[in-house]
């Protein structure tokens, strides 16, 4: 199974589109500005269709199989979302057309701002950020600007737990701030003692703390209120990384737990597809005292009951052109409207139930550092098997592919050696979970009896194990003739 | 309606295996007072009802199927061949995620490798990433890359005043914590040479848009002239461009650009009220390790067969954390895939035809409008598909009348971004505008110039 590159199926003279004849007088081209050649492929329409159809068949996807990629919430993406986003009244709307000619779209944005605020307990929401990391940057810039406006310009540190996703520290440096790492304790919570000493020592220099809760171990921090209190007491603010919000819809509201800012990952929690890596949406919610700092414009309802764009008074500025990933917002809106309060709570209850069930089925076979606790929507196991010293997490992950399962997230969080981070989501059935658990148990057995089978896996994927070192060394990053024009 | 397959019987079985009596018992780590808050949301709808509600919202908008569009300014109404949306709807593409596990993600990886190849072909550069969020953030990322290369010694960023105003705003937002200085925005509009002035030993980069926000196209010689001065100052030359213009014109890679980036929406992506789009980002091989965003590289498997993987990840947040070149994680992968499908379908000649049609039609429209009493076409040099028109009345009034009376979406009102361009609109014409539509626009503008109604409205506004 392999598919040639689009350039390799190109034949001079083939065409895949027909365009209209020019119906106006032609204008002369500025000769010195016209390019000599445009090295794009020449293919027919059926070539395009077969090429991309075949390529698609080389992918694992939610639509074709279980995808328990921890931290990514690979839940089923309802087909109605796709229909909704493509309604011509949405898809064929220009972002800069007059607000009065786009009131329906703006009403949807306004509703979604309010729905998201209610679900997480915030006062105001911006839908402009395009992904989780973009929301993080937005949130941290808001915290920074708020504190600096109060004259506290000496503040330049963000506390980041050692379990945090890489985007948290990367966001901190991108915002011109310093990262200080807070270790986790033996139960997987933020280490309170160390946090206390850090806030005592660095209090006046803290912008705040970035906290993922439930955290990347899949655990709801047992001391979350104390963590929040300590940071606030030091004059800092608490940022919530909402990547794991799927665990707590209708279970807890981060705003009421004391979080000041949080990003939502609409592509995770609210079922807009992940698109092979994006697009997403990283909407950001804030407590009332930060509402003026949101990026914008956001949609407000004016005196005439019309929807209008408004830049918040002390805004950090725009984080993106136009208004956000609107077609992603339409999908999230559709999802929330179809669920209602009860439906959303069922989502989280079943996501957590499924994760605990899988954890229970696997805890005697794979080490799971915190299996003494109930997990939330995911848990972290380890690819370290007794009696199979040569086998690591990567081998187990690759062997899973032979059974048509996407592997869990591997080697993250960094604080668990040989991490296998499993997030089943609520849209998977007990049969699927059982089949996955049975397979992992079988692989553990194979690891002892036939380790070579794992070492050389995958055996049934479109390609065998790929050489990443060679890719980084050779740096073949595009196809010959096109490169360099 | 939800999408949960668990039945009550399943739940009971699962709880027994877990060893807790009820689902509620799984949540005892949540502080009791905060547990199970009420969500005040409207009642759930069935699929049929939600579609009806959405259709009603969609119907309130004057979308481009019902009006003719002469609005651009960073988002463009170009034709999207049917194959693009038909293929992009395949669940195998859209319901996958970032191809971390390469062996079962070859479809995405190869398609993105081809995207990179076609972006390089288009821009004349050597490497491309798989996208940033949009043209504005791609520009901000290019600026940050230049600042990182400058290592604090070069902390000035020169932005052309005719770089898209929203892109300039995003660069400001992104860099607000970095202690840098932004210069150049007060240079005379369209004066490339004036941008070389502020570029000195303290400068990290000069960012220029070509064709610029006002539609003006600079020749390769003019651009190369500026590139040489920017390089002499030791700074990066960053060129923001419209990918469709590159179907016809010399690409920035051939006139000295270190980074070529911009909005990729015109390549096969719907307007969708502003997103999702994609920021394309191409650079030289020598700079690729300093750049940000996912990159796909070619390699082999253990049988020696060709395959593709994400590569150069040591630049990225999941490996480098606070030392990463950017915090970007999820990008606009599906939009990049649509762009690749668009470029493949358009091919060598199709994209050129789109660019030529846009060029001819824009020049035809500009010629007719220039001949109207009261209007002046302000095209100081060459242009591609957009041009500035000085209007006899405030642009907002003209646009309102165009839409209400003629079903035409008029041009972008430049007054709010450029006070000196009060009463000036930026018109955009593409292959989607027929000669008849252009004639309607011209006739409507002519009528409105002399219209007393508008004058009355104008008076009303002035009185307010
Ligand atoms: C915990 C956590 N935080 C942040 C992010 C970043 O989100 P995005 O990829 O949407 O930028 C992720 C994404 O995987 C995540 O898992």
Task: Spell out the alpha helix ranges (H) of A402-463.
Answer: 430-449, 451-455
Structural domains in chain B plus CATH codes: 68-78+347-451+458-462 (3.90.1150.10), 82-343 (3.40.640.10)
H or E element, residue B447: helix B435-450
CB B305 within 8 A of CB A464: yes
- Interface test mutation site (partner B, options A130, A215, A481, max chain B beta carbons within 10 A): A130
Distance CA A235, CA A206 (A): 7
Q: Report the nearest atom of ligand 1 relative to the CA of A241.
A: 3
Mean pLDDT, rounded, for A390-403: 98
> A20-51, pLDDT tens digit by residue?
999 999 999 999 999 999 999 999 999 999 99
Residue nearest to atom 5 of ligand 1 (CA): A132
> A233-254, pLDDT tens digit by residue?
999 999 999 999 999 999 999 9
Distance CA B161, CA B166 (A): 11
Q: Report the nearest atom of ligand 1 relative to the CA of A282.
A: 10
pLDDT for residue A482: 47
Nearest CA in chain B to A408: B101
* Residue B463 pLDDT grade (very low, low, confident, very high; cuts 50, 70, 90): very low
What does DSSP assign to residue B327?
-
Q: Which of B60, B254, B359 sits opposite A103 (nearest CB)?
A: B60
Who's near B209: CB < 8 A, 6+ residues apart? B160, B162, B163, B164, B167, B239, B240, B241, B262
Please answer yes or no on whether A427 and B3 come within 8 Å at the CB atom.
Answer: yes
pLDDT for residue B19: 97
What does DSSP assign to residue A296?
S
Percent share of chain A, pLDDT over 90:
98
Nearest CA to B310 out of A275, A468, A458, A461 is that of: A468
Mutational test site, ligand 1, from A75, A167, A210, A267, max ligand atoms within 8 Å of CB:
A167
Nearest CA in chain A to B144: A174
CB A209 within 8 A of CB A180: no
Distance CA B228, CA B210 (A): 16
Q: Which of A338, A360, A463 sits opposite B45 (nearest CB)?
A: A338
Please answer yes or no on whether B174 and A319 come within 8 Å at the CB atom.
Answer: yes
CB environment A44-71: b (16+ within 10 A), e (fewer): bbebbbebbbebbebbbbbbbebbbbbb
Residue nearest to atom 8 of ligand 1 (CA): A132
> B361-382, pLDDT tens digit by residue?
999 999 999 999 999 999 878 9
> B122-133, pLDDT tens digit by residue?
999 999 999 999
Structural domains in chain A plus CATH codes: 79-338 (3.40.640.10)
CB A92 within 8 A of CB B270: yes
Q: Is the CB of A68 under 6 A from ligand 1?
A: no
Residue nearest to atom 14 of ligand 1 (CA): A72
Q: Any chain B CB within 8 A of the CB of A334?
A: yes
Q: Report the nearest atom of ligand 1 relative to the CA of A72.
A: 14
In the three-class reduction of DSSP (H, G, I as helix; E, B as strand; rest coil), residue B390 is classed as strand
* Residue B151 pLDDT grade (very low, low, confident, very high; cuts 50, 70, 90): confident
Mean pLDDT, rounded, for A383-412: 97
Please state, as a whole number, how many other Cβ atoms lie within 10 Å of the Cβ of residue B76.
Answer: 24
Residue nearest to atom 16 of ligand 1 (CA): A71
For residue A458, is the peptide bond before it cis, meaning its omega torsion is within 30 degrees of 0? yes
In the three-class reduction of DSSP (H, G, I as helix; E, B as strand; rest coil), residue B406 is classed as helix
pLDDT for residue B407: 97
Please answer yes or no on whether B34 and A253 come within 8 Å at the CB atom.
Answer: yes
Q: Is the CB of A167 under 6 A from ligand 1?
A: yes
> B377-407, pLDDT tens digit by residue?
998 789 999 999 999 999 999 999 999 999 9
Residue B459 has pLDDT above 70, yes or no: no
Percent share of chain B, pLDDT over 70:
97
Mean pLDDT, rounded, for B275-302: 96
Q: Is the CB of A241 under 6 A from ligand 1?
A: yes
* Residue A184 pLDDT grade (very low, low, confident, very high; cuts 50, 70, 90): very high
Which pair of tokens denotes residue A11? Answer: 């034949």
pLDDT for residue A1: 61
pLDDT for residue B323: 85
CB environment A80-109: b (16+ within 10 A), e (fewer): bbbbbbbbebbbbbbbbbbeebbbbbbbbb
Nearest CA to B74 out of A344, A52, A97, A336 is that of: A97
Residue nearest to atom 9 of ligand 1 (CA): B330
Task: Spell out the alpha helix ranges (H) of A121-253.
Answer: 132-149, 167-174, 192-202, 224-233
pLDDT for residue B464: 44
Residue tagged 């626009």 (tokens): B441
What does DSSP assign to residue A259?
-
Nearest CA to B74 out of B123, B160, B131, B135 is that of: B135
* Residue B325 pLDDT grade (very low, low, confident, very high; cuts 50, 70, 90): confident
Please state, as a whole number, how many other Cβ atoms lie within 10 Å of the Cβ of residue A390.
Answer: 11
CB A59 within 8 A of CB B96: yes
Residue nearest to atom 7 of ligand 1 (CA): A132
> Average per-residue pLDDT in chain B?
95
> Average per-residue pLDDT in chain A?
97
* Residue B39 pLDDT grade (very low, low, confident, very high; cuts 50, 70, 90): very high
pLDDT for residue A480: 78
pLDDT for residue B455: 59
pLDDT for residue B457: 59
Q: Any chain A CB within 8 A of the CB of B105?
A: yes
Q: Is the CB of A243 under 6 A from ligand 1?
A: yes
Mutational test site, ligand 1, from A132, A161, A281, max ligand atoms within 8 Å of CB:
A132
Which pair of tokens denotes residue A485? Answer: 């024009």
Distance CA A190, CA A202 (A): 17
> A290-314, pLDDT tens digit by residue?
999 999 999 999 999 999 999 999 9
Q: Any chain A CB within 8 A of the CB of B2?
A: yes
Distance CA B163, CA B190 (A): 10
> A263-282, pLDDT tens digit by residue?
999 999 999 999 999 999 99
pLDDT for residue B214: 98
Please state, as a whole number, how many other Cβ atoms lie within 10 Å of the Cβ of residue B144.
Answer: 23
pLDDT for residue A481: 57
Q: Any chain B CB within 8 A of the CB of A39?
A: yes
Mean pLDDT, rounded, for A344-354: 98
Distance CA A357, CA A44 (A): 50
Out of A436-450, B191-205, B344-358, least confident range: B191-205
Distance CA A49, CA A399 (A): 31
* Residue B189 pLDDT grade (very low, low, confident, very high; cuts 50, 70, 90): very high
Distance CA A174, CA A170 (A): 6
Percent share of chain A, pLDDT over 70:
99
Q: Any chain A CB within 8 A of the CB of B139?
A: no
ipTM (interface pTM): 0.98
> A145-166, pLDDT tens digit by residue?
999 999 999 999 999 999 999 9
For residue A297, is the peptide bond before it cis, meaning its omega torsion is within 30 degrees of 0? yes
Q: Which of B103, B276, B278 sits opposite A462 (nearest CB)?
A: B103
CB A355 within 8 A of CB A368: no
Nearest CA to B192 out of B142, B233, B227 is that of: B227
- Looking at the complex, report in whole angstroms how far the Cα of residue B170 sits from the nearest Cα belonging to chain A: 5
Q: What is the CA(A280)–ligand 1 centre distance, in A?
A: 10
> B63-116, pLDDT tens digit by residue?
999 999 999 999 999 999 999 999 999 999 999 999 999 999 999 999 999 999
Backbone angles phi, psi at B308, to 5 degrees: -130, 145
CB B114 within 8 A of CB A7: yes
Please answer yes or no on whether B299 and A463 come within 8 Å at the CB atom.
Answer: no
Q: Is the dihedral of CA A62, A67, A69, A73 positive or negative?
A: positive
Task: Residue window 281-320, chain B: list those with CB within 8 Å of chain A.
Answer: 285, 288, 294-303, 305-309, 311-312, 314, 316-320
Q: Is the CB of A133 under 6 A from ligand 1?
A: yes
> B403-458, pLDDT tens digit by residue?
999 999 999 999 999 999 999 999 999 999 999 999 999 999 999 998 876 655 55
Who's near A28: CB < 8 A, 6+ residues apart? none
Q: What is the CA(B363)–ligand 1 centre distance, in A?
A: 46
Q: Is the CB of A325 under 6 A from ligand 1?
A: no
Q: Any chain B CB within 8 A of the CB of A400?
A: no
Q: Is the CB of A169 under 6 A from ligand 1?
A: no
What crossing angle do the helices spanning B395-406 and B452-463 adopt, rounded to 10°? Answer: 130
Q: What is the 3-state secondary structure (H, E, C) of B347-387?
A: HHHHHHHHHHHHHHHHHHHHHHHHCCCCCEECCCCEECCEE
pLDDT for residue A485: 41
Q: Is the CB of A240 under 6 A from ligand 1?
A: no
């Amino acid at each position: 199974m392999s598919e040639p590159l689009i350039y390799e199926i190109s034949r001079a003279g083939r065409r895949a589109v027909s365009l209209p004849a020019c119906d106006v007088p032609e204008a002369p081209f500025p000769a010195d500005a016209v390019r000599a050649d445009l090295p794009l492929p020449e293919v027919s329409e059926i070539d395009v269709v077969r090429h991309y159809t075949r390529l698609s068949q080389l992918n694992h996807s939610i639509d074709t199989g279980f995808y328990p990629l921890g931290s990514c919430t690979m839940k089923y993406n309802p087909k109605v979302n796709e229909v909704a986003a493509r309604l011509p009244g949405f898809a064929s709307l220009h972002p800069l057309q007059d607000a009065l000619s786009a009131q329906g779209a703006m009403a949807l944005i306004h509703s979604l701002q309010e729905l998201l605020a209610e679900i997480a307990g915030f006062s105001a929401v911006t839908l402009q950020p395009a992904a989780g990391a973009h929301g993080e940057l937005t949130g941290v810039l808001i915290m920074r600007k708020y504190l600096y406006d109060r004259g506290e310009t000496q503040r330049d540190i963000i506390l980041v737990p050692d379990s945090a996703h890489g985007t948290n520290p990367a966001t901190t440096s991108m915002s011109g701030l310093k990262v200080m790492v807070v270790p986790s304790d033996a139960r997987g919570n933020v280490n309170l003692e160390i946090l206390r000493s850090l806030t005592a020592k660095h209090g006046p220099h803290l912008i705040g703390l970035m906290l993922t809760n439930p955290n990347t171990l899949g655990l709801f921090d047992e001391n979350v209120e104390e963590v929040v209190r300590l940071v606030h007491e030091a004059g800092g603010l608490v940022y919530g990384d909402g990547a794991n919000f799927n665990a707590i819809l209708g279970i807890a509201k981060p705003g009421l737990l004391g979080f000041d800012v949080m990003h939502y990952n609409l592509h995770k929690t609210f079922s807009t597809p992940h698109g092979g890596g994006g697009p997403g949406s990283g909407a950001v919610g804030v407590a009332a005292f930060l509402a003026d700092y949101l990026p914008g414009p956001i949609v407000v309802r004016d005196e005439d009951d019309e929807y209008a764009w408004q830049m918040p008074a002390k805004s950090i500025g725009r984080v993106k052109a136009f208004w956000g990933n609107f077609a992603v917002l339409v999908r999230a809106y559709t999802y929330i409207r179809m669920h209602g309060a009860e439906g959303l709570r069922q989502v989280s209850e079943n996501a957590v139930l499924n994760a605990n069930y899988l954890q229970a089925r696997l805890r005697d076979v794979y080490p799971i550092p915190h299996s003494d606790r109930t997990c939330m929507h995911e848990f972290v196991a380890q690819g370290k098997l007794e009696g199979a010293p040569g086998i690591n997490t990567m081998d187990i992950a690759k062997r899973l592919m032979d059974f048509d399962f996407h592997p869990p997230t591997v080697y993250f969080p960094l604080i668990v050696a040989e991490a296998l981070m499993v997030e089943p989501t609520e849209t998977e059935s007990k049969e699927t979970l059982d089949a996955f658990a049975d397979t992992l148990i079988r692989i553990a057995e194979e690891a002892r009896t036939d380790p070579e089978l794992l070492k050389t896996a995958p055996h049934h994927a479109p390609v065998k194990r790929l050489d990443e070192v060679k890719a980084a060394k050779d740096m073949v990053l595009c196809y010959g003739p096109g490169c360099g024009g | 309606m939800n999408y949960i397959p668990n039945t009550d019987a399943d739940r009971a079985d699962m709880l027994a295996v877990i060893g807790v009596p009820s689902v509620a018992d799984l949540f005892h780590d949540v502080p009791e007072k905060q547990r199970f808050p009420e969500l005040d949301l409207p009642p759930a709808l069935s699929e049929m009802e939600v579609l009806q509600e959405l259709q009603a919202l969609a119907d309130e908008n004057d979308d481009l199927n019902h009006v003719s569009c002469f609005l651009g300014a960073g988002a463009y109404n170009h034709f999207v061949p049917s194959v693009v949306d038909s293929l992009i709807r395949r669940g195998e593409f859209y319901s996958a995620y970032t191809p971390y596990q390469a062996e079962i993600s070859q479809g995405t990886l190869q398609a993105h490798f081809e995207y990179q190849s076609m972006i390089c072909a288009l821009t004349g550069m050597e490497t491309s990433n798989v996208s940033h969020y949009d043209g504005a953030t791609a520009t901000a990322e290019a600026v940050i890359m230049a600042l990182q290369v400058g290592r604090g010694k070069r902390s000035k960023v020169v932005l052309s005043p005719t770089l898209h105003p929203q892109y300039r705003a995003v660069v400001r937002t992104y860099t607000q914590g970095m202690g840098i200085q932004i210069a150049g925005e007060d240079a005379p509009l369209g004066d490339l040479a004036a941008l070389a002035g502020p570029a000195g030993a303290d400068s990290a980069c000069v960012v220029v848009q070509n064709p610029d926000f006002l539609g003006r196209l600079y020749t390769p010689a003019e651009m190369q002239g500026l590139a040489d001065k920017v390089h002499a100052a030791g700074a990066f030359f960053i060129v923001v461009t419209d990918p469709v213009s590159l179907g016809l014109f010399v690409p920035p890679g051939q006139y000295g650009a270190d980074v070529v980036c911009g909005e990729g929406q015109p390549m096969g992506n719907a307007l969708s009220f502003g997103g999702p789009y994609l920021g394309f980002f191409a650079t030289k091989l020598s700079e690729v390790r300093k750049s940000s965003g996912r990159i796909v590289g070619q390699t082999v498997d253990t049988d020696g067969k060709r395959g593709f993987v994400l590569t150069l990840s040591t630049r990225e947040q999941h490996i480098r954390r606070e030392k990463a070149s950017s915090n970007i994680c999820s990008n606009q992968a599906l939009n990049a895939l649509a762009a690749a499908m668009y470029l493949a379908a358009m091919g060598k000649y199709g994209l050129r035809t789109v660019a030529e049609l846009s060029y001819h039609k824009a020049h035809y429209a500009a010629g007719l409008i220039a001949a109207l009493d009261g209007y002046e076409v302000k095209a100081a040099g060459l242009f591609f598909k957009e041009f500035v028109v000085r209007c006899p009345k405030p642009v907002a009034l003209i646009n309102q009348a165009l839409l209400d009376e003629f079903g035409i979406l008029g041009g972008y009102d430049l007054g709010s971004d450029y006070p000196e361009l009060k009463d000036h609109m930026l018109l955009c014409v593409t292959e989607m505008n027929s000669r008849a539509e252009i004639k309607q626009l011209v006739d409507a503008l002519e009528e409105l110039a002399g219209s007393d109604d508008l004058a009355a409205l104008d008076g009303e506004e002035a009185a307010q």
